[in-house]
Amino acid sequence: MSEKYIIFCSDTVNLPEIYYLRTLKINTKFFHTMINRILIRIKVLQIVFAYYQNGEEDLKVAENELLLSLQRSYDLYYYLLLLIVEITCFQEQRLETRKNKYRPSEDERRPNMRLVDNRFARQVQSNEMLRKYVKDHGISWVSETDFVKSTLDMILASDIYRDYLNNPDDSYKTDQEFWRSVFRKLICGNEALEEALESISIYWNDDVDIIETFVIKTIRRFEEANGSEQELLPMFKDKEDTEFVISLFRQSLLHGDEYRERIGRHLKNWESERVANMDLVIMQVALAEILNFPEIPIKVTLNEYIDAARYYSTPKSGPFINGILDSVITELKNEKILLRN
């Protein structure tokens, strides 16, 4: 599997730029779907950038990489939910092994089963959507048992687990809040998790932090009464979002020369070769969205790409891109090409 459309680097470093995802604050209205417009824009920027970095190779190949990258993001959502099940089952197997060994201690014969019997974890384990997706897509933590074990040990040694055991409220809500706290405080931002996931798929270099956020929101959405039929987040909200992915990507590249020529006229004292490649890509994709998606307010588009510039390019890129795009938009309105605000 090629990495060439996946690693997303600035012009001056060789490490993936993950800061945008780590600091991104997402409006909660988007959480009825897994792949939202914010993540779509990020993925399109990544693939367009890589397309130019790799010599403008086959457009269809790049498009397939974009779709595969989005699919892998959705896979990651299920991997993280499955982690709850794997940790629970590992603890159950561990306690059973200790109980059946020769001359077990009293604690081993009568272990605390609260984690194993956690109602929320058992509901996740029985979830029909999770079970079907895992089966259909071959998702498994079997190659990362050392990570599952170390994560379990980390949980058992934590104050979160101690407080959970001492909590007199033995209820579904308590069980649910335990796992939400585990994800928020122990799993999110865990370097060992990122290393384990990287060994499974290179497509997750930039995805872990944002998908963790979706998992935490999903945990909170669970209701005991829904049992195994609890709905998980769909990949896309609707057909419109699916079409948005392909259309934004194609328009960005098919009209790339035209957009870059127009942007170039507004660089004034800037020499185009000295402008960061990422800045050009961000302005190019933003212009594609402004010109081809009239239903999206211009201000929304500008804010999204300016935010992306702050984290994926240089420290001064946000204000620079804002100024150039504002000038381009004014020109488009004067030419009657752009007729909305």
The tens digit of pLDDT for each residue in 160-186 reads 999 999 999 999 999 999 999 999 999
Q: How confident is the model at residue 272 (pLDDT cuts 50, 70, 90)?
A: low
- Res 6 pLDDT > 80: no
Q: Is the pLDDT of residue 29 over 50?
A: no
pLDDT exceeds cutoff 80 at 21: no
For residue 237, the model assigns a pLDDT of 81
Q: Is 104 helix (H, G, I), strand (E, B) or coil?
A: coil
CB 218 within 8 A of CB 184: no
**pLDDT value, residue 142:** 92
User: Among 62-76, 118-132, 300-314, whose mean pLDDT is lowest?
Assistant: 300-314
Q: What length does the chain have? A: 341
Range picked from 74-83, 106-115, 266-275 for highest mean pLDDT: 74-83
**Any long-range contacts for 14-17 (C-beta under 8 Å, 24+ apart)?**
16/205, 16/206, 17/206, 17/311, 17/312
What confidence category does residue 33 fall into, taking pLDDT thresholds of 50, 70 and 90?
low
Angle of CA points 119, 108, 100, to nearest 5°: 95
Quickly state the pLDDT bin for 121 (edges 50, 70, 90): very high
**Residue 273 pLDDT:** 54
Q: In this prediction, what percent of the chain has a pLDDT beyond 90?
A: 64
| pLDDT attached to residue 106 | 85
Which residues, other chains included, contact 156 with Cβ-Cβ below 8 Å and sequence gap of 6+?
91, 115
Following CA atoms 9, 10, 15, 20 in sequence, which dihedral angle do they give, to the nearest 10 degrees?
-90
Residue 35 has pLDDT above 80, yes or no: no
What integer is the mean pLDDT of 227-235? 95
Does residue 20 register a pLDDT over 60? no
Residue 4, pLDDT above cutoff 50: no
Mean residue pLDDT of the chain comes to 86
pTM of the predicted model as reported, rounded to 2 decimal places = 0.82
